[in-house]
Structure 1
Amino acid sequence: MSKFSHFSLASGTAFKKLFNVTAVAASVAVIASCTNYQQPSVELPQGVSLVESVKAQEGVVNIPFKKYTLANGLTVILHQDNSDPLVHVDVTYHVGSAREQLGKSGFAHFFEHMMFQGSNNVADEQHFKVVTQSGGNLNGTTNSDRTNYFETVPKNQLEKMLWLESDRMGFLLEAITAEKFEVQRATVKNERGQNVDNRPYGRLNETVNQMIFPREHPYSWPVIGYMSDLDRGTVTDLKEFFSRWYGPNNAVLTIGGDIDEAQTLAWVNQYFGELKAGPAVEPLAKTPVSLADNRYYSFSDNVSLPLLYISFPTVYGMHDDEPALDVLANILGGGPTSLLYKNLVKSGVAVQAGTSHPCRELVCQMNFYALPNPQQGLALANIEQVINDTLVEFENRGVNDDDLLKTKVSIETDTIYGLQSVSGKVSNLAHYQTMLDDANYTEQQVARYNQVTKADVMRVFNQYIKGKGAAVLSIVPHGQEALVAKADNFTLPDVSNPPAVVELDTPIMKNISDFDRSVMPSAGENPQVKVPELWRESFANGMEVIASENNETPTVSLLLSLEGGPLLDPIDKAGLAQLTASLMNEGTLARSKEALSNELAKLGSDISFGASGRNTFISVSSLVKNLDATLVLLHEMMFNPLFAQADFDRVKNQTIQGLEQGNKDARTLARNAFKQVTYGKGNRVGLADSGTITTVNTITLADVKGFYKQYFSPSKSSLVVVGDVSRGDLLPKLKRLKSWQGQSYTINTDFTLPEVTPNKVYFVDLPNASQSSIKLSRRAMTYDATSEYFKASLMNYPLGRAFNSRINLNLREDKGYTYGASSYFSGGKTQGSFSAGASVKKEHTYDAMVEIENEIKNYQEKGLTDDEVTFMRQAISQSEALSFETPSQKSGFLRQLLQFNLPTNYGEQQTEIIQNITLAQLNAIAAEELAKPMQWIVVGDGQIVRPQLEKLNVDVVDLTLAQ
């Protein structure tokens, strides 16, 4: 497995279901017992109290843990899991945007950024550097109700993580400066530009919340905040917010993994025990929200299709009626077995539709959405009518047995898959402790869903949906305002001039330490990492099988790859492989898609077909107990696809509509432009895997059937299996795949590629785009594990692959041009590339391009520093401890072995290279690789960006993308 992964930025507003995304079934007790051992009782440090001890017990639904409190109110939860040599640390503060004051929105999310900017004993940007150099990964998320910060590191780095987290909990404010404040204010604005303003339908959530909640309600403003509020904010405001909410008594510290309990408690007490408690925190009132009548509102956006979104406020997270409402949402719009799928998607009225019931601490919402099918008209009033008719249909239909069974099975499977990592278990414990003061809530959660009855579902429908008012939002393309569902009868509140804000008047937090916190703890010896044990088998039909037995969870995953995929498309029918794979999800000669989906849901299994890169993929996940039944459905889908004309027409139209929408998205346009410029419009690799609108339009059902007949063959196939099944048990189950026969075929990779034109900028105009997407790139070497490609990737790591890379620190932290910038090598079997770029403020497009060019030139001419080489060595080599934890990671490792014919121990060879490659060798690679000609690709608002590009004194080519 390649040791490189893209850095993750320490932010990202999380809009997700907070309460019912995690639930556990009876088999979890088995999971917990096989990864946990009970250590002897330990003498507790002074000031530390044991609150609760939960052990794994047969037949009991739980995650084993011990809960402690410190004298300052900090809750500490320890979970022992010695299956991998790593630890996961999570600090969750019970403060999200709901704790903000009217007129001071965005502070909780802003603090998520500020918490990575150094503290009294941790230098600016050092937090990222320390964690990365330790071989770990880290992030932070903010939502309406809580903010959390977390790291996963090799087990020998635990003390260092506690030092970092405690220093920013207790000694952050001394390090906050006006300069840091302004840099992060700019970064938040870039984040909003990238994830909200520059994204189609990006303003949907915040608009719906404004429609449902009164202006003074804490959910009425977005988590990321209003920019006008952030512009008014001051450093003092920020410090007062931190002092009010970031005390240890409002936090939960959860640690899971291969830990020594006594040593961990001693460290926790040392680093956190002396911190002062903050002001008392009272729970927020859960005041019911309801609308007397429908509120209609609409706005135009840079989209290709209108969208209708209907949202009913219901209960609140963990309310007794939440499970029944979840079942209702699944019946109405939860996938191919739902009523909305039948009435909107299957019927051809809409290209997409669905229902969800996300919950937050104070309110849940029942949401319906649909995007109309242009072939049957775009008027959203028609969509609204179908949704209303569907609600009447449900009332008459009622609830059947399968409706309840599918929801209960999903609890079991979702939980088991969520607990395949230490981070998943830690997140589960931290969540319930923060929201309910009960980390051991999983058993009760299961019971809540198992107790739902048909009568409950009908009751909550009548109580919260039937006849109730909702927020009805229409989002339409510019100039097509006539498509809205109904004329606006609601006006959004003016958020630019809030009422006078009541000052917090909170004393600024001040802690004093009785030991020298400026000394960063040292790490112990690096843990030994074991490569997963594996076995191989070759079938006579050409299929290569590679598998690893993994009994940490009672699950099995299979990934069947047929080499070729989109590379097998005729150039004039690009998208054929992907369309064929999509159609294989649509039903068999024996069962419709709805019937297949129903059977899979009752098993808790998933089967999906897709095509990308140079492969067609069939992905299967199943509980071990249901593997045989799942394989029966897999074989049916593989060897007896229906290929119905109606399904083909619908899926083809959905594909075309997706391509149309992609033409409105800056990042999609940039990806397509990169492929076209780098590999050529006349080559299959120069077009998106999904093809273009023109090429997909030419594809017929006969083409799909022909592609399936010619290329759906085991002759160039591989099967990766990871799970709780032995070789002896698995091979008999693969008899049908072993006997599968198919013809051989060739894959064309002999392309005539265009010349690199370094004196040109290829520009794609996206009117009104709030940000520009810029990319400096060229073709480069193909993938290898231990030669040129690997060594070039080592060279690039300090330049643009780590968060603390030169390019990212310059553009994000120093200049405030972007939310994140990077450079990277990407390589496959036959093609490779090097790219550097970012999404940037459009008014700074030219400036950002110059900075990237300067960083690359300086790196190429002067090379790396000794410190950067040390950072690279430690970060990459120590990250191996995190490489094989989950089944998906093991599966990726096995697939890498097969795809590139690698030896099992190639990781050891990489480690040797990492430790022994010299500064001179790395600088020589930089001098050679970064001197090669590259070309710019820019997507942005022509009125703002094009005048800037003219300052580059190169040809600006208006690029016409293949349509």
Structure 2
Amino acid sequence: MRKLHKIAIAVALATSLAACNSPQSTPNAAALPAGISLVADQSQTTGLAIPHKKYKLANGLTVIVHEDSSDPLVHVDVTYHVGSAREEAGKSGFAHFFEHMMFQGSENVDDEEHFKIITEAGGNMNGTTNSDRTNYFQTVPVNQLEKVLWLESDRMGFLLDAVTEKKFEVQRETVKNERGQRVDNQPYGRLYERVSQALYPDLHPYSWPVIGWMDDLNRANVNDVKAFFLRWYGPNNATLTIGGAVKADDVLPLVQQYFGSIPVGPEVTPAPKELLMLSEDRYISMEDNVHLPLLYVTYPTVYAWHQDEAALDILSEILGGGNNSLLYKNLVKNQTAVQAQVSHRCMELSCSFTLLALPHPASGKNLADIEKVIRDSLLEFEQRGVTDDDLNKVKAKMEAANIFGLQSVQGKVSQLAYSETFFGQPDQVADDIARYNAVTKADVLRVYNQYIKGKHAVLMSVVPKGQTAMIARADNFKPVAHDFGGPSTTKAEDLQARRAVDNFDRNVQPKASVNPAVELPATWRTDLSNGIAILGAQTTETPTTSLLLKIPSGQYYETPDKVGISSMVASLMNESTKNYSTEQMSLALEKLGSSISFGAEAEYLTVFVSSLTKNLPATLALLEEKLLNPAFNAQDFNRVQQQTLQGLQNSEKNAGFLAQQAYRKLMYGNHIMGYNGQGTLATVSKLTAADLQAYYQQNFKPAGSQLIVVSDITQAAVQPLLSKTLQQWQGQAPALKVATPTAVAKAGTIYLVDKPDAPQSEIRIGKRSITEDITGEFYRAGLMNFVLGGNFNSRINLNLREEKGYTYGAFSGFGADKVAGVYTAQAAVRADATAASLQEFLKEIDRYQQQGITDDELNFMRQAINQADALEYETPNAKLGFMAQILEHKLSPDFVKERNQIVASISKEEINALAKKHLNSKDMSIVVVGDAKKLRPELQALGFAVEDYQL
């Protein structure tokens, strides 16, 4: 489930886009398959538009085709203009629930086959639901297109007979697990649904959560969701968008064949849009299992694409959009708050302007104090006004973000589908650019006065349990309680089914042609005299440059008494330098539309740089400043240290974090590998700015570093720029010296971590295992695990999720680096199914270890992995990851061919031998995080030794 956020279409400077609105071609119906009409031809647009053609089928289905031959793949998106806002009061959650049902098989596609077919085709897929739309999407090698159209059309036109009572019940449990994992068992997880109840009028379609109220789903029966499908899932309420290495002339006959016979659904009219206003400030609060209190202030504003949306977006950036914002200055920089931000979230029918902050415990401030600072900041904005930089940096950030958004076919298809669904115009580049570039200082002040100043808001206080004295003000709002009656009485005979009639056999799965040839990225290689190895590639799809610098340092270079220091160093290098304050550096990058981000991993400190190529020299000058002149000043250090400590304490409220912490400690003991890379409360609190400075001086050296470059310009153009920036950086850091520790966990023992009243339990089952390699046993063991726990249709996931309804997802796999590795099976499961889930995990692992892989599973694994190459190298970031492997492991790019040969030739006997070697569950240990009081007797009844484990 994913909430809707406004997607700004590709943005460029207005002066460069005069050619975007090319005249439409005259529709030529004679050249099209019967039943399809051309609505618009924007295939010859120039600039940063998304070329496309738009068609309409006789049954109302809108079809958009985007031709892009840069990679041998295709992305297919089917968006239905229905989300939770189309639901009836008392029947919430149906849109999201039906997203689940759409993956359960249709009349001509067997149960659980949709994911399997796409995985076997070498593709990936998913579906999402938000308030206003539901979409289903697949990216596959282009030879698999017909198969995708067959699958999507079958569930659009032939679903209902396959929706059984059993599937309905299992998916109802799966949705409950999803809510447990993403909402009820997450800190602040119920915040947004509480705010929505107060922000919108009673029974407004945005007043209930997208995932729904569980009471509503519990009342529903299978016929209710079938009725929902019949009402909203007609072709006339859908947009089919196809983008990739295709031609419209080839695609349209297939579209007509598979979708043309599907009957039109009921008429769908636009939902009403109205500007909302509150009559008073509504104060609400709740206690939660959180570390820090939070104040969430929300004003109703406009709706998506309203004439004032762009100005409100810019206002949100000024107030809380970065290190130069007012809330950052007034709350975060002075450590009154750990975090503060502002956003303007737009949906089809309504937008909301939100300011939030989490007070720092050391500040002594409660949420009433934070409210006053926020209100004072608004008054300060009135006095401060709007600057040229406010406008220019937002427009530069938009230009860069949206150009980078054009790097994948999926990104372009998603934008076309979004704009067509909500505005009837697939490509809104020129209009979107124009509305932001047209925003003036006066516009920003006007929307502030119109929607924020003196207006009423919802003010939500979330406080730790037992600390109600910290709320901003006593609650003065309570949602209306409704009684929607008992179980539904909707009957099958109440449904008015529609059925397509075809002149071909839909039961026959289309066969794919030969896999398209996939060209590996052409690379160039060089070394700088200071020891930096550079691997580069040119890609001309967008005028951008991306860099990844990997410096040999990181957690494995630390000692347990100072664990977290490399992460802190990276955080401080994202702050001020000797010549720029944090605010000045942020502004300089924002005005370029560039980003420079430092991070820390186990074996490397990393630097990621993204820039429009036209701004690369200026961006590299700022990179040089950051690399060579970090300030490590006391103010920055103290703030980052406190933010890190508060983040660690907040993470301890998360069951998944606790499980990983316990599991890591049991696998590696009191060794650097046994710690979270962020450090511990004890180690981080003892660090000093001098410690970080010393670590930087000793470890932050270029020799042995790896730089990966993906740019639209040639090696001859980019290499001198890199040399100029990096050549004066000198030195070599100490070599890595880390011994592999032994595990401290006892096999056959359950380590129980208490999380009182947890609605779900986190399970980890595993043992120490082999280290990482690229073409050796580690890679082969991953192939072995693929059908056990390495994909959606794996044995483990189908059992625990699709058959039992115990979890939202269960998986297993090998995780390793060059130093150490583990094998882990894991899931978040319903609390009342903890013991049963553990039994099923072990049953599947033991059965696979003893009986091995089947012939069908072996073929499935081979097809799924060897056909996925087309998706591996599409975007610059994907190329960065691929090329990073080459440098780190000193590989030839041909290693891909070697791995493909391994997949094609690995035998059933080798797979089974690997399973016998690595999957003996008697060698494994178990971590369970949940309500220990309830779980302990259930787990002991399984026959395991159960030990309480304290982190």
Same fold (TM over 0.5): yes
Contact 1:56 1:63 in 2 (8 A): no
Residue of structure 2 in register with 1:370 after alignment: 357
> Which stretch shows the higher mean deviation, 753-762 or 659-668?
753-762
| Separation in 1, partners of 2:441, 2:11 | 20
Residue of structure 2 in register with 1:7 after alignment: none
**What's the secondary structure of 1:716's corresponding residue?**
coil
**What's the secondary structure of 1:672's corresponding residue?**
helix
| Separation in 2, partners of 1:527, 1:40 | 31
Residue of structure 1 in register with 2:24 after alignment: none
**What's the secondary structure of 1:621's corresponding residue?**
strand
1:526–1:543 Cα change, 3 Å: same
Matched, 1:147 2:137: no
Residue of structure 2 in register with 1:715 after alignment: 703
Q: Which amino acid aligns with 1:431?
A: Y
Residue of structure 2 in register with 1:948 after alignment: 938
Q: What aligned pairs does 1:616-627 form with structure 2 within 5 A after superposition?
A: 616-627=605-616
Q: Which amino acid aligns with 1:371?
A: L
Residue of structure 2 in register with 1:445 after alignment: 432
Matched, 1:227 2:214: yes
Residue of structure 1 in register with 2:565 after alignment: 576
Q: What aligned pairs does 1:303-702 form with structure 2 within 5 A after superposition?
A: 303-494=290-481, 497=484, 507-680=496-669, 682-702=670-690
**What's the secondary structure of 1:915's corresponding residue?**
helix
How far the C-alpha of 1:939 sits from its partner, in A, is: 0.8
Contact 1:71 1:273 in 2 (8 A): yes
Q: Which amino acid aligns with 1:528?
A: A
**What's the secondary structure of 2:606's corresponding residue?**
strand
Contact 1:229 1:496 in 2 (8 A): no
Deviations 1:729-777 (A, max 9, x none): 1121122312311233021221432345212111111112111000101
Between the two proteins, the alignment pairs up a number of residues equal to: 943
Deviations 1:555-610 (A, max 9, x none): 00111111121112221111000001101111111111111111111100001111
Matched, 1:741 2:764: no
Q: Which amino acid aligns with 1:559?
A: L
Contact 2:555 2:602 in 1 (8 A): yes
> Which stretch shows the higher mean deviation, 90-99 or 49-58?
49-58
Q: Which amino acid aligns with 1:725?
A: I
1:458–1:57 Cα change, 3 Å: same
Contact 2:344 2:354 in 1 (8 A): yes
Deviations 1:110-150 (A, max 9, x none): 01000000000000000000000000000000000000000
Q: Which amino acid aligns with 2:693?
A: K
Q: What aligned pairs does 1:30-49 form with structure 2 within 5 A after superposition?
A: 43-49=31-37
Deviations 1:617-674 (A, max 9, x none): 1111000000000011111111111111011111000000000011110011111111
Deviations 1:927-953 (A, max 9, x none): 111126111011111122222211122
Q: Which amino acid aligns with 1:323?
A: A
Structure 1 vs Structure 2 CA RMSD: 2.0
Unaligned 5+ segments in structure 2 are 22-26
How far the C-alpha of 1:29 sits from its partner, in A, is: 7.2
| Separation in 2, partners of 1:484, 1:418 | 40
| Separation in 2, partners of 1:254, 1:308 | 41
How far the C-alpha of 1:554 sits from its partner, in A, is: 0.5
Contact 1:763 1:957 in 2 (8 A): yes
| Separation in 2, partners of 1:598, 1:868 | 54
| Separation in 2, partners of 1:186, 1:775 | 21
Deviations 1:418-439 (A, max 9, x none): 1100000000110000000111
1:499–1:752 Cα change, 3 Å: closer
Contact 1:94 1:145 in 2 (8 A): yes
> Which stretch shows the higher mean deviation, 82-91 or 758-767?
758-767
Residue of structure 2 in register with 1:200 after alignment: 187
Deviations 1:248-286 (A, max 9, x none): 000000000001322210000000001100011000000
| Separation in 2, partners of 1:275, 1:151 | 21
| Separation in 1, partners of 2:641, 2:424 | 50
**What's the secondary structure of 1:62's corresponding residue?**
coil
1:386–1:721 Cα change, 3 Å: same
| Separation in 2, partners of 1:160, 1:887 | 28
Contact 1:19 1:359 in 2 (8 A): no
Contact 1:317 1:363 in 2 (8 A): yes
Contact 2:8 2:402 in 1 (8 A): no
| Separation in 2, partners of 1:719, 1:40 | 51
Contact 1:32 1:64 in 2 (8 A): no
How far the C-alpha of 1:410 sits from its partner, in A, is: 1.9
Residue of structure 2 in register with 1:863 after alignment: 852
| Separation in 2, partners of 1:777, 1:25 | 53
| Separation in 1, partners of 2:500, 2:30 | 29
| Separation in 2, partners of 1:895, 1:887 | 12
Q: Which amino acid aligns with 2:946?
A: V
TM-score by length of 2: 0.97
Residue of structure 2 in register with 1:775 after alignment: 764
Deviations 1:699-719 (A, max 9, x none): 011101100110010123111
Contact 1:762 1:936 in 2 (8 A): yes
**What's the secondary structure of 1:327's corresponding residue?**
helix
How far the C-alpha of 1:26 sits from its partner, in A, is: 6.0
1:666–1:30 Cα change, 3 Å: farther
1:941–1:571 Cα change, 3 Å: same
Contact 1:102 1:501 in 2 (8 A): no
How far the C-alpha of 1:18 sits from its partner, in A, is: 2.8
Q: Which amino acid aligns with 1:843?
A: D
The share of aligned pairs that are identical, in percent, is 51
Residue of structure 2 aligned with 1:900, choices 877, 884, 889: 889
**What's the secondary structure of 2:929's corresponding residue?**
strand
**What's the secondary structure of 1:762's corresponding residue?**
strand
| Separation in 1, partners of 2:251, 2:758 | 50
1:499–1:454 Cα change, 3 Å: farther
Residue of structure 2 in register with 1:6 after alignment: none
How far the C-alpha of 1:851 sits from its partner, in A, is: 0.3
| Separation in 1, partners of 2:685, 2:545 | 38
Residue of structure 1 in register with 2:926 after alignment: 936
Q: Which amino acid aligns with 1:49?
A: S
Contact 2:219 2:486 in 1 (8 A): no
Residue of structure 2 in register with 1:829 after alignment: 818
Deviations 1:870-922 (A, max 9, x none): 10000000001111100011000110111122221101001111111111111
Deviations 1:91-126 (A, max 9, x none): 000000000000000000001000000000000000
Deviations 1:142-165 (A, max 9, x none): 000000000000000000000000
| Separation in 1, partners of 2:193, 2:754 | 28
Residue of structure 2 in register with 1:3 after alignment: none
Residue of structure 2 in register with 1:213 after alignment: 200
Residue of structure 1 in register with 2:916 after alignment: 927
1:502–1:182 Cα change, 3 Å: closer
Q: Which amino acid aligns with 1:546?
A: L
Residue of structure 2 in register with 1:846 after alignment: 835
> Which stretch shows the higher mean deviation, 21-30 or 573-582?
21-30
> Which stretch shows the higher mean deviation, 493-502 or 803-812?
493-502
| Separation in 2, partners of 1:888, 1:590 | 30
1:573–1:194 Cα change, 3 Å: same
Matched, 1:272 2:274: no
| Separation in 1, partners of 2:645, 2:734 | 28
| Separation in 1, partners of 2:813, 2:767 | 11
